[in-house]
Amino acid sequence: MSSLFESIKQGLTEAIEYERGNLPDVKVDRLTVSPVRTHSGAEIKRIRAQQKMTQKLFAAALGVSVKTVEAWESGINKPSGIANRMLELLSQDGTLLERCSIVARQ
């Protein structure tokens, strides 16, 4: 436990020193995260159609229920943040599910 405490303490001390400008040689990666884009029911249906999937297959591939996909497509419910991210990835790369071995065409 003491070792864990010391590691956390050292990390916090370094973070404070960095913020004060006292660690100029520290390498820092700065990232920008794009906002989560929401998808309309029509967009979700278009993405599913591009995948050539039924609602049942699309739901299985995304790990949600068929009722969830139906609700999204009809506009009753909106996808969560992570679902919207996945939908965005699928809209940009139609082969994503196959390349990640989530689906296999037979």
Number of domains in the chain: 1
Confidence band for 1, pLDDT divided at 50, 70 and 90: low
pLDDT digits (tens, 9 = 90+) for 68-102: 999 999 999 999 999 999 999 999 999 999 999 99
Full domain range(s) for residue 72:
41-99
CATH number of the domain within which 82 lies: 1.10.260
State the pTM of this model. Answer: 0.73
9, part of any domain: no
Kindly tell me the burial class for residue 19, based on how many C-beta atoms sit within 10 Å of its own C-beta (0-12, 13-18, 19 or more). exposed
26, part of any domain: no
When pLDDT is averaged across residues 5-20 and rounded to a whole number, the result is 87
16, part of any domain: no
50, part of any domain: yes
54, part of any domain: yes
57, part of any domain: yes
